[in-house]
Structure formats: structure tokens, C-alpha cells
């Protein structure tokens, strides 16, 4: 782990930082668990929300809920109760289980985000009949199951390879994501040696997810731009259309750009930290600062995917008992306008 001469200084600073990180994780756990549970409840309680697109959103919320509802609370408690004399907080078996659960949920969440991007790409750029044929209930269920199966295979790959080669089972370190917040409390060091396997798998998954998002949302933006240009060339006017196509397409373009920018800004710093950690120890503070924006994805995903969805807003108001009879302007969703 390097920098052993500065260990006492780092330990003294870590004691004060642990409380701040504990409070941060506690707030993220409450906010993330509430948002993800609310979206899952709305989809399963409101019949109009039971669609293939929303099934992928529920899958993301389920994966994010494992992080926000299980990992973040225990992480906050462990940080708050940690002391310098102890090598780590809690039994080794529990720490290994929590690390494995975090890696499983992290990978499943990334794969689910990619499925949502591909679903929206097909919804907007493909013909309605082709989309319905591709995203039948059985196909959608198979895609959702594959995201968890792929995450589980990557999680268990070290044991599977060891069993196939007849080697001793690898230790829990191979399953530890090495994402700094938990590690920094365990040892008093300014630098962290990240777990090679988990760091490499996480970085590769994020890069693959980024490639899928760039492709899908680039195609969506191109389709939106073509739709806007078509309206401009044909010299359509708003009062001659059943829906304000150009204005809705521009709003959708801004929304897609916002979603893509949010994912890039929250994931790319972590990728660089993980890749650097494969070569040499990384400063613990840098790991924490790169991990925090990524952790926000688990909290903000329900809002990102539902804030512009009119049906979700109506269902939420119904659940909260807000009167919907007042000034409800009926407008066709922009995503369906573009798909036409």
C-alpha cells in the first residue's frame, strides 16, 4: 500500500472524514431507497404503466435498490463505528458478502441502463410493428434475466475458473470492487491498492455501457434532427398538426442530451481511477471523489427516467391524492411523436 510514513497523519484525517462519509451514505441511502421503491410501486400498482419500457426501468430500480437499501446503510454504519486499531469493521465474511452484493448490483445496474438505451433506440427509430415484435413480454423478460445472469457470471468467474483449472479457490479480495469508501476505513493509508479483477471488470462494464449509450442516443438524436428538419422543409405549422412536432422533438433532444451527459460525467472519472489503480496505488481521496458521482446514479436513476414521463406524473399524483381534474392538458408524448 505505499506511503507508510504518512500513515498516522492519514489516520488522524480519516477519523474526521469517516463521519462526513457516513452521513453522506446515510442520506443517499434514504433518498435512493425511497425513489426506487416509489417507481417500483407505481409500475406494479398502476396498470397503464405495465409496459416493456417500464419493465426495464423497474429492473434498474431493483438493482439500484440493492445498493441504496442494503450496501449504503451498512457502509454508513461501518464508517461511523470504525476505529484506527481495528483492521476493518465487521466480520470478514460479512464484508465479503457486502462487497459481492455491491459488485453484483453494480454490474446488473449498468447492463440494465444499456437495455433501457437500446429499448428507447428501438422505440424511436424502428417501426411500431417491429418494436412490438422485438419487445414481446417473453423477450423483455429474457433480456432482464440476462442482465442479472451476466452480472452473476462475472461475479463468480474467479471461482469458476479456479474450479475448472483445479486451483485453490480465490480469496474474497477478487470480489471486492476496491471502490475506496470501504477500503479507506480499513487501513490507515493515503493510498489504496485496488482489487485487480473487480476493478478491471467494473471499468470494462462501464466502458461497454458508455459505448452502448453513445450509439443508441446518437441514433436517437439523429432521428430527432431528421424529424425537425422534415417539419421545417414541409413548412408545417403548429395549427395544422395534431401535435407540436418540432417543439416536442427539440425538447426530447434536450432531454436525451441531458441523460447522456449525466451518465458520462458520473461514470468516466471512476473509469480512469480504476484503470490507474490497476497499475499503481491510487490516493484514497481521489477514489472517494470519483466514486461519489457514480453512487449518485443509483439514487437519481428513478428521477432521470420518469421525470419527463406524463403517465408517471399522473400516477404519482393519483397515489398522493392530488386532484387531476384541474387544467390537465392532454398532449401526446414526444417519444411517440418522433417514432412516427
Whether 249 has a pLDDT exceeding 80, the answer reads: no
Least confident of 1-10, 183-192, 247-256: 1-10
pLDDT at 329: 39
Q: Which residue has the higher pLDDT, 124 or 56?
A: 56
Query: In three state form, how does the secondary structure of the chain look?
Result: CCCHHHHHHHHHHHHHHHHHHHHHHHHHHHHHHHHHHHHHHHHHHCHHHCCHHHHHHHHHHHHHHHHHHHHHHHHHHHHHHCCCCCCCCCCHHHHHHHHHHHHHHHHHHHHHHHHHHHHHHHHHHCCHHHHHHHCCHHHHHHHHHHHHHHHHHHHHHHHHHHHHHCCCCCCHHHHCCCCCHHHHHHCCCCEECCCHHHHHHHHHHHHHHHHHHHHHHHHHHHHHHHHHHHHHHCCCCHHHCCCCHHHHHHHHHHHHHHHHHHHHHHHHHHHHHHHHHCCCCEEHHHHHHHHHHHHHHHHHHHHHHHCCCHHHHHHHHHHHCCCCCCCCCCCCCHHHHHHC
Asked whether the predicted pLDDT for residue 177 surpasses 80, the reply is no
Q: What does the pLDDT read at residue 218?
A: 86
**What average pLDDT does range 149-166 have in this prediction?**
81
Prediction pTM value: 0.78
188-226 per-position pLDDT tens digit: 445 666 678 888 888 999 999 999 999 998 888 887 765
User: 43-54 pLDDT, tens per residue?
Assistant: 988 888 888 889
Q: What is the pLDDT of residues 276-332, one digit of tens each?
A: 888 888 787 788 888 888 989 899 888 888 887 788 888 888 877 764 444 343 334
Fold exhibited by the domain 4-339:
Rhopdopsin 7-helix transmembrane proteins (1.20.1070)
- Between residues 192 and 187, the one the model is more confident about: 192
The domains of the chain are located at: 4-339
Average pLDDT score over residue span 7-29: 68
Is residue 56 pLDDT above 50, yes or no? yes
Amino acid at each position: 500500500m505505499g506511503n507508510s510514513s504518512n500513515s498516522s497523519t492519514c489516520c488522524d484525517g480519516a477519523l474526521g472524514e469517516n463521519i462526513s462519509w457516513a452521513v453522506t451514505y446515510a442520506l443517499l441511502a434514504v433518498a435512493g431507497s425511497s425513489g426506487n421503491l416509489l417507481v417500483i410501486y407505481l409500475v406494479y400498482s398502476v396498470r397503464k404503466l405495465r409496459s416493456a419500457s417500464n419493465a426495464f426501468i423497474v429492473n434498474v430500480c431493483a438493482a439500484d435498490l440493492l445498493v441504496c437499501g442494503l450496501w449504503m446503510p451498512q457502509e454508513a454504519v461501518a464508517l461511523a463505528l470504525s476505529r484506527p486499531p481495528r483492521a476493518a469493521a465487521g466480520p470478514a465474511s460479512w464484508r465479503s458478502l457486502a462487497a459481492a452484493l455491491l459488485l453484483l448490483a453494480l454490474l446488473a445496474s449498468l447492463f440494465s441502463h444499456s437495455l433501457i438505451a437500446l429499448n428507447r433506440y428501438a422505440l424511436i427509430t424502428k417501426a411500431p410493428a417491429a418494436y412490438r415484435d422485438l419487445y414481446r413480454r417473453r423477450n423483455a423478460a429474457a433480456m432482464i434475466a440476462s442482465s442479472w445472469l451476466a452480472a452473476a457470471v462475472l461475479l463468480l468467474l474467479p471461482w469458476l475458473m479456479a474450479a475448472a483449472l483445479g486451483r485453490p479457490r480465490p480469496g474474497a479480495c477478487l470480489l471486492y470492487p476496491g471502490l475506496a469508501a470501504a477500503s479507506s476505513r480499513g487501513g490507515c493509508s493515503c493510498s489504496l491498492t485496488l482489487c485487480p479483477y473487480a476493478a478491471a471488470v467494473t471499468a470494462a462494464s462501464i466502458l461497454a455501457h458508455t459505448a452502448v449509450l453513445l450509439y443508441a442516443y446518437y441514433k436517437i438524436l439523429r432521428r430527432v434532427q431528421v424529424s425537425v428538419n422534415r417539419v421545417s422543409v414541409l413548412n408545417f405549422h403548429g395549427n395544422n398538426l395534431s401535435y407540436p412536432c418540432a417543439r416536442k422533438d427539440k425538447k426530447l433532444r434536450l432531454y436525451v442530451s441531458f441523460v447522456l451527459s449525466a451518465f458520462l460525467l458520473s461514470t468516466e472519472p471512476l473509469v480512469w481511477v480504476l484503470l490507474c489503480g490497476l497499475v499503481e496505488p491510487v490516493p484514497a481521496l481521489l477514489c472517494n471523489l470519483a466514486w461519489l458521482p457514480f453512487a449518485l446514479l443509483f439514487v437519481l436513476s428513478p428521477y432521470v427516467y420518469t421525470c419527463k414521463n406524463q403517465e408517471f406524473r399522473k400516477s404519482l399524483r393519483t397515489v398522493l391524492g392530488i386532484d387531476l381534474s384541474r387544467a390537465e392538458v392532454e398532449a401526446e408524448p414526444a417519444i411517440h411523436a418522433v417514432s412516427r
